[in-house]
Amino acid sequence: MTRNERCIIKILDYDNISGIYVILNIITWKLYIGSSVNVARRLCRHLYLLRAADHYNDHLQQSFLLYGENSFEFFLLEETPKESLIDTEQQWFNETQCYEPNKGYNICKIAYSVLGMKHTNKSRALMSEVQKQSYIDGRVPYMLGKRHLVQTRTKMAQKALGRICSQQTRILLSESHKGIYVSDVTREKLRIAGLGRMHSTATKKKLQSINRGKKLSTDTRNEISKALRQSYVNGRIHPLLGKTHSDETKSKISKALSGRTASEKTISKASRDWLIINPHGGCFYIRNLAAFCREHNLSRAAMGLVADGKQSTHKNWLCQRHY
């Protein structure tokens, strides 16, 4: 029987035992102390990660690779009830000072906590580079395709209630999302996920109060206009093009707009003089292009394209804005 086999058999003797364990380097006498409700399972996990050169404790992993598996002992230090595991582990921490680099491999000074541990600037830079490279290499975030439990989502929602992002955070979020376009596949997934989902009455009132009286700045309007024009250049089509609202949606829209009248200011803004030339050369100076198009069986949208120079004619009719 090899030494490694004897090590595994020894570890399995601690199955279902709650207590404090130690991983000891018999060459340097440095040690790693931990606690578990099942010492055998935890030690097997440590040994598996160390053999795979994938242990989360880099100090311990490098030492394991340098001195070899035969230089390490895995054993139970003290059998302890589950209720007092952390307190007992902390006592061993204080006694052995295994968190000191010249005495042990533990990173944290406090048992079962990362309190007091600070990543170095070098470590932070490395973690940042790894995250960036993961997206370049096409590696998927570990939560992609998974969902939090209902209890977890409820806790997250309660914790976020009333949280308001600072102006600086909003600017950073805005900058990070600029130039990002959602793919057609993602849009379809979002559409399917949102089917049948409706805002509560309280949420609707909040949204109404937030947006009431809000006016888009001239810069924002220009950006929206530019984005819409570019979408047609890039071949992206408006999501409602060729589709029709359901009867239920039409009824809701009609009900929401019933009784609403445009102000004189709005009417004056929307009104515009148009010069229309029919196929026979006749000229018409009109004010309401939509009514004229209905009367002569023309498309208002097509006549607008003619006026914008994006279409030569519509049914041999010409249209110009008359200032």
- Integer Cα distance of 148 and 269 in angstroms: 50
Q: What is the pLDDT of residue 297?
A: 92
pLDDT beyond 60 at 1: no
Q: Does residue 124 register a pLDDT over 70? A: yes
Please report, as a single letter, which amino acid is at residue 260: R
- Confidence label for 237 from pLDDT (cuts 50, 70 and 90): low
Instruction: State residue 220's pLDDT score.
Output: 86
pLDDT at res. 3: 61
User: Does the pLDDT at position 230 exceed 90?
Assistant: no
Identify whether the C-beta of residue 303 lies closer than 8 Å to the C-beta of residue 289. yes
Least confident of 10-14, 45-49, 231-235: 231-235
Structural domains in the chain, CATH included, are 3-96 (3.40.1440.10), 270-321 (1.10.10.10)
Q: Is the pLDDT of residue 6 over 70?
A: no
As to burial, measured by CB atoms within 10 angstroms (0-12 exposed, 13-18 middle, 19+ buried), residue 283 is: exposed
Q: Residue 79 pairs with which residues in a beta bridge?
A: 19
pLDDT for position 7 = 66
Q: Where are the alpha helices (DSSP H) in the chain?
A: 3-12, 39-51, 58-67, 85-96, 121-136, 150-160, 167-177, 184-194, 201-211, 218-233, 247-257, 264-270, 289-295, 300-307
**Range among 46-50, 145-149, 241-245, 285-289 rated most confident:** 46-50
pLDDT digits (tens, 9 = 90+) for 20-68: 999 999 999 999 999 998 898 899 889 989 998 888 888 999 999 999 9
Whether the predicted pLDDT of 177 surpasses 90: no
Query: What is the mean predicted confidence (pLDDT) over 286-297?
Result: 89
pLDDT per position as a tens digit, 104-120: 999 888 886 554 556 77
